Structure 1
Amino acid sequence: MLRFVLLCQLFAGLTLTGNGFADESNPTPLILAHRGGAYEFEENTMQGFQTCYERGIRGFETDIRMTKDGVLVLLHDDTLDRTHDASGAVEDKTADQLKDVRTKQGQSFLLLDDFLKYFQDKPGVYLELEMKTSNKSLYPDARIAEYCQKLYAAAKQYKPTGSDYLFTSFDERPLVAMRQQDADWPIAIIASKPLSTEFIERAERLQATHIACKISGTSRDLVQKAQAQGFKVNGWPGHEVKDYYLAIGLGLDVACTDIPTAIQQTKENLSAKIEK
């Protein structure tokens, strides 16, 4: 049934709005490349982000951490061990110590400035900058202000006109700090659970503009309730194409996925079949 819905949408010739979100005339969720397409490329690498962009993806999610000497970098885990040829936390290292660090397949360790510079001349992009500060031993309260000030300044400096850059986190502390810096900048609260009334109320309390929830267990009624209150809703994780069909059925604004180019190709193939 969900496949049929997608076919109907493609048959109708629907296109994304300027900011990539679904709207009343276009119910197709924005494809968000989680960590630059973590199941298709090495995560949080320029190869992944660049290849996704070149293949038509316009939504990207990444993870931001801060080195010992205050440089912002891209890394999901609390340590380098799983993804790189080094070990330990970047929070315990200087930026200079990370210069020679490579991914398991030999790619350069990515700094936030280099990531943002790539998108600086590419308007119409939607970026989710996840603030990985939940580990309070790495990010005590005293470090949150510096982290947020530097991230806000970098995003504001490099963001091109016509793009949407979003600060997101599981941790409420940086969301509160970002809202204090800018009353209008979009922010999202993330939780490892389906959408609920309590979750919506939490987002409202934080003055969030977006909600990121687990797609499994989320209902269409609650998605519509959140949207009626002005929130954009992002569903995750997306590991298979069928997860994107579910995102369509739920009426989500954003579908966070580890296989963005596979979904993009599926949509293009279906569209081509319909045109025939």
Structure 2
Amino acid sequence: MNWQNAKTLVLAHRGSASEAPENTMAALRLALQQQCDAIELDIHLTKDGEIVVCHDETLDRTTNLRGCIGEMTLADIRQADAGSWFSDQYAGEPVPLLREVLELVPLEIGLNVELKLSYGGSIEHKVVALLREYGRLSSVIFSSFDHRMLYRLKQLAPEARISLVYAGKLLRPLRLIEDFELEVEAVSLHHAMVEREDVMAIRNSGRQVIVWTVNEEEAMKRMLECGVSAIITDYPAKLRRIVG
């Protein structure tokens, strides 16, 4: 996966989350069918050390079960129905393992893995080991609002690519990147906070600009005009039609 593509990349948010239950294999398969360039997903660590794909730290919102992922075993989590809340069509859809995602998604499709919680530093070690096992560490971008977690991951695996996530409008984005000290591949910004001059400055420095979460056609077109590297969207099919 070439994250430095000249054309803006279509990045499916938790899969094709507008048409299938987020962060499930069904949503990922649909995103692949809709010709996304990459998939954004979120990971957590179970009580017995397995990496699962889920946005929230609990199962409450997206399954029929309740509880913190970090306090449950994989066997417990496998009992959850992660599809019925979205539609009866997806009843019985399980919470997937990251390992299963790596087996599904072809090498030419990128992954943007967002880290939510460190789990005492365990998740950084676990995810690096898993991606090395699959030979995909250098093709994945890790992102997080927790920059300390990204710093630890980068120290652990210097070849890993990281993206610093920011929610606000930055005064001097390049200074923040340089202050990080370690190599930064990209920054991830909310699309409403993006200015073309900042995008150009970041990209001219050899880094990428990923924007989230862009679902309206007008906003998609504005991001293309700004020259962003990748657009995260719940509507990858719509964005693919616009990007071409």
Structure 1: runs of 5+ lacking an equivalent: 1-17, 134-138, 269-276
Secondary structure class of the residue paired with 1:216:
helix
> Which residue, 78, 85, 89 being the options, matches 1:99?
78
CA-based RMSD: 1.9
Secondary structure class of the residue paired with 2:28:
helix
Q: CA deviation at 1:171?
A: 0.5
> Which residue, 245, 254, 272 being the options, matches 2:221?
245
Secondary structure class of the residue paired with 2:40:
strand
1:55 has 2:49 as partner:
no
1:180 has 2:155 as partner:
yes
1:170 has 2:170 as partner:
no
- So what's the TM-score if we normalise by structure 2? 0.89
1:128 has 2:102 as partner:
no
Residue 46 of structure 1 contacts residue 110 of structure 1 at CA under 8 Å; is this kept in 2? Answer: yes
Show CA shifts across 1:4-60 (max 9, x none): xxxxxxxxxxxxxx626442xxxx310100111222221001111111112211210
Q: Distance in 2 between matches of 1:152 and 1:188?
A: 16
What code does the residue aligned with 2:168 have? K
Show CA shifts across 1:71-107 (max 9, x none): 1111111221111011121011111111211114221
- Identical residues among aligned pairs (%): 26
Q: CA deviation at 1:202?
A: 2.4
- So what's the TM-score if we normalise by structure 1? 0.79
Q: Distance in 2 between matches of 1:233 and 1:20?
A: 10
2:94 maps to what in 1?
A: 108
Q: CA deviation at 1:230?
A: 1.9
Secondary structure class of the residue paired with 1:115:
helix
Show CA shifts across 1:160-195 (max 9, x none): 59x821111110122111111122321011111234
What code does the residue aligned with 1:214 have? H
What code does the residue aligned with 2:46 have? T
Show CA shifts across 1:186-224 (max 9, x none): 101111123441x43222233221100111131111111
Structure 2: runs of 5+ lacking an equivalent: 85-90
2:193 maps to what in 1?
A: 217
Higher Cα Rg: structure 1 or 2? 1
Residue 116 of structure 1 contacts residue 158 of structure 1 at CA under 8 Å; is this kept in 2? Answer: yes
**What is the number of equivalent residue pairs in this alignment?**
235
